[in-house]
Amino acid sequence: MTLACPAPHHEDGVVLLGHGAGGRLTAELLDTLVLPALEGPGGPLEDAAPLPGHPDLVISTDSFVVSPLFFPGGDIGSLAVHGTVNDLAMRGARPVALSVALIVEEGLPLARLRAVAESLGKAARDARVPVVTGDTKVVGRGAVDKIFINTTGVGQRRPGLRPSAAHARPGDAVLLSGPLGLHGITVLSSREGLGFDSDIRSDSRPLHHLVAALAPLGEHVHTLRDPTRGGLAAALNEIARDARVAIGIDESDIPVPGTVAAACDLLGLDPLTVANEGCLVAFVAPTAAEDALAALRSLPEGRDAARIGEVLPHGPAGRVVLRTLVGARRVVDMPLGELLPRIC
Amino acid sequence: MTLACPAPHHEDGVVLLGHGAGGRLTAELLDTLVLPALEGPGGPLEDAAPLPGHPDLVISTDSFVVSPLFFPGGDIGSLAVHGTVNDLAMRGARPVALSVALIVEEGLPLARLRAVAESLGKAARDARVPVVTGDTKVVGRGAVDKIFINTTGVGQRRPGLRPSAAHARPGDAVLLSGPLGLHGITVLSSREGLGFDSDIRSDSRPLHHLVAALAPLGEHVHTLRDPTRGGLAAALNEIARDARVAIGIDESDIPVPGTVAAACDLLGLDPLTVANEGCLVAFVAPTAAEDALAALRSLPEGRDAARIGEVLPHGPAGRVVLRTLVGARRVVDMPLGELLPRIC
């Protein structure tokens, strides 16, 4: 796929939707523009960063711009809690505190604002994380689309658990905690009024209990990542890049619900690139794979957990390969840019 | 002043610009809608909140939506650093880490994004606080006005310094570290092309060095607050409310630059309600007032520090009184809503 668009290092270029989609354009924008300007820490970009001077604490931030605000299985309020709780969980941390910053468009019905705030509050209580501070800005009509939410979380890392995208190793089993594509297809269906199926729902949920279930396996848990923007394809490509390994996955083992598969067929989407908000991939030492799978399956949110592949013993660093149902092999590329903007 | 607008507890109401302005409408929205939904901690709303389980750490979040993006003396990038560093400083903390979340409009020239990011990075390095994690979202044209930035900061409280809006006491001296109104009038002038004066500049700057200078006074420093949205009027009213005291200030002692006074006259604004981004008010025990003033004046950003009033020995709790140049007394109300939206 080629796009006739200026690279972000061209000063006459403009920001494209794909620059925020979690794929190759995002990586290029971050690598060539944002990160050099901020002089951030080197090394792999993780979902959450250690707090300087407090290595047991991690911090993560995320803005939520999903459209529509409400969709089957969730809304921007609950999503804003789950997204940040999950980013902390992917570093092996339980959430300690959340901040919430609202940017609201003038004219938004107060009843809608209240519904969003109440959903956010309920999701935080359900995840047992307090909202300790916040900010509310109102901007004029047209300056923001209804409401955007930033949540930033601080988490306490579980002892012995130090997952990192850089820690995946040859031989690791690749586990997926649940079915793919439900969040992205649900939001798309709600937004466009496609109505694929009345029973499709976002998988938006907190994942820190799954991580707690994996905690007894300690250092055998090498890598955790929740495949949100850019889907499983982006998550695996990031891990392959940061750990300098090749990853093989089996199409026959990847759980894709029938509704998601049908919608993707119709729309020309690859389920591997569709966003999720309620599943994680875990890279674990081969000797711990069965225990890890059992731990994931011990919780309702992990009952469909599956082993979907492994880190290859050889193969080019950064490569992700899919073994298809018909026995062929195809390279799973990092998505260029999201085909579904404003999914989270 | 009366406004014919629905109160925020009316479900048929809509969000108004004034709900985000830091005045009475904001307080009403927070008290009746946002805080009950989130079930946040009770007690006074401070600029930053202690981290549960880590009482020496505080966290603060703020979204920046200033328009225009660039103005004399600063831009949205540097402002996003200063605003959050200052919220931490007002709790007696030095900044330990920042997160940065960008929401960018499709079509924004990359050169503008780069300029904002570089200014943000420079401001963070100047304040010696690392940007440890971030997020970038891109939304379609018209879904956000150019770029909004959220920064969330974690700070380490200085030993012995425990300022709180609730700690102001009768007899306290009220100190102001610098002149009022420069930020608000500068942004307004840039936005509207009023061009009041070519040499007016925002006072946007980090204030944590001023707080460090006050640190040796320890518990004699009762309250610190930076008068941003709603200006000095809002800051003093919040402190009077939270500490249940009355505050008296002297018009003759309040430093208002001539340009600000002239612009306010022309526009019908009260300089006490105009936003600042580079000064603080300190409530200190009367015995420590001279030392505190000397400490503030020892730094360039505090060279114009002045004693502007005191906490009254008696008087109705929550009341702020201005003694005018002509010897009259007038009540300084909490501003209803900001007359200058998108000032930060």
Contact list, A67 vs chain B (CB under 8 Å): 143
> Chain B partners of A62 at a C-beta cutoff of 8 Å?
101, 135
Distance CA A80, CA A150 (A): 7
**Chain B neighbors of A83, CB-CB under 8 A:** none
Residue A340 pLDDT more than 90? no
Task: Let me know: does A312 contact A213? Beta carbons within 8 Å.
Answer: no
- The confidence score (pLDDT) of residue B2 equals 34
Q: Which of A109, A142, A156 sits opposite B14 (nearest CB)?
A: A109
Place of tokens 């007394």: B329
CA-based nearest residue in chain B for residue A14: B109
By percentage, how much of chain A surpasses pLDDT 70?
Answer: 92
Are B19 and A63 an interchain contact pair (Cβ–Cβ within 8 Å)? no
**Cβ-defined contact of A65 to B113 (cutoff 8 Å):** no
Chain A nearest-CA residue for B95: A52
Per the CB < 8 Å rule, is A21 touching B138?
yes
Helix (H) or strand (E) run with residue B207 in it? none
B53 vs A contacts (CB less than 8 Å): 96, 156
Do the Cβ atoms of A140 and B17 come within 8 Å? yes
CA of A42 vs chain B CAs: smallest distance (Å): 10
Query: CA of A6: which chain B residue's CA is closest?
Result: B110
Q: A123 to chain B: nearest residue by CA? A: B38
The reply to whether residue A110 touches residue B15, judged by beta carbons under 8 angstroms, is yes
Provide the 3-class DSSP secondary structure of residue B50. Answer: strand
Question: What residue in A sits closest to B18 (Cα-Cα)?
Answer: A138
Q: Which segments of B251-334 are extended strands (E)?
A: 281-284, 306-311, 320-323, 329-331
- Residues of chain A neighbouring B48 (CB-CB closer than 8 A): 133
Instruction: Report all structural domains of chain B as residue ranges with CATH numbers, in order of start.
Output: 47-157 (3.30.1330.10), 165-331 (3.90.650.10)
Q: Are B52 and A132 inside 8 Å of each other by CB?
A: yes
Q: Which of B110, B120, B144 is the closest to A13 by Cβ?
A: B110
> pLDDT tens for residues A65-94?
999 999 999 999 999 999 999 999 999 999
CA distance to B91, B212, B288, B290, B292, per residue, from B295 (Å): 18, 9, 10, 9, 5
Mean pLDDT (10-residue bins), chain B, 344 residues: 41 81 81 82 68 95 96 97 97 96 95 95 96 92 96 96 96 98 94 74 97 97 96 96 97 96 92 96 98 98 98 96 95 82 87
Residues of B in Cβ contact (< 8 Å) with A81: none
Mutate to test the interface with B, among A5, A30, A63 (most CBs of B within 10 A): A63
Residues in A touching B13 (Cβ below 8 Å): 109-110
> Tokens 């936005």 appear where?
B191
| Residue from B56, B116, B137 whose CB has the most chain A CBs within 10 Å, to mutate | B137
Confidence of residue A128 (pLDDT cuts 50, 70, 90): very high
For A237, A270, B165, the CA distances from A226, given in Å and listed in that order, are: 13, 17, 41
pLDDT digits (tens, 9 = 90+) for A12-39: 799 988 887 777 888 888 888 888 888 7
The closest CB to that of B144, out of A34, A134, A144, belongs to A144
Look at the block and give the residue holding tokens 């529509």: A68
Please tell me which of the candidates A48, A106, A150 has its beta carbon nearest to residue B61.
A150
Of A148, A149, A135, A150, give the one whose Cα is nearest residue A60: A150
Nearest-by-Cβ selection for A34 from B96, B109, B117: B117
Q: Which residues of B touch A103 (CB under 8 A)?
A: 63, 65, 103, 148
Instruction: Compare all CA atoms of chain A with the CA of B9 and give the residue at the minimum distance.
Output: A110
E strands, chain B, in order: 49-51, 54-64, 70-71, 74-75, 93-105, 131-139, 147-157, 173-176, 221-225, 247-250, 281-284, 306-311, 320-323, 329-331
| Residue B22 with chain A: CB contacts under 8 Å | none
pLDDT interval class at A197 (50, 70, 90): low
- Beta carbons of B131 and A36 less than 8 angstroms apart: no
What are the chain B neighbours of A26 within 8 Å (beta carbons)?
136
Interface test with A, best of B17, B94, B110 (most A CBs within 10 A): B110
- Taking the C-alpha atoms of residue B96 and residue B54, their distance in angstroms, rounded to an integer, is 14
Calpha distance B248→A63 (Å, rounded): 42
Q: Do A63 and B16 touch (CB under 8 A)?
A: no
Chain B residues with CB under 8 Å of A113 CB are 15, 33-34
CB B253 within 8 A of CB B308: yes
Residue in B39, B45, B138 to test binding to A, most A beta-carbons within 10 Å: B138
Which residues from chain B sit within 8 angstroms of residue A341, using beta carbons?
Answer: 138-140
| Facing residue for B37 by CB, picked from A14, A118, A135 | A118
* Chain A residue numbers touching B50 (CB-CB < 8 A): 132
What is the number of CB-based contacts under 8 A between chain A and chain B? 284
Report the pLDDT value the prediction gives residue B6, as an integer from 0 to 100.
42
Residues of chain B in contact with residue A50, where contact means CB-CB under 8 angstroms, are 132
Please, what is the average pLDDT of chain A?
91
Place of tokens 């707080």: B211
What CA–CA distance (Å, rounded) separates B24 from A68?
31
Query: Half-sphere exposure (CA, 13 Å, Cβ side) for B259?
Result: 18
0.80 exceeded by pTM: yes
Nearest chain A CA: its distance from B321 CA (Å): 28
For residues A285 and A290, what is the distance between their CA atoms, to the nearest angstrom?
A: 10
A219 band by pLDDT with thresholds 50, 70 and 90: very high
Rounded Cα gap, residues B48 and B44, in angstroms:
11
Query: Do A18 and B138 lie within an 8 Å CB cutoff?
Result: yes
Contact A121 B148 (CB under 8 A): no
Give the best residue of A108, A152, A342 to mutate against chain B (max B CB count within 10 A).
Answer: A152
Residue B1 has a pLDDT of 33
A125-154 mean pLDDT: 95
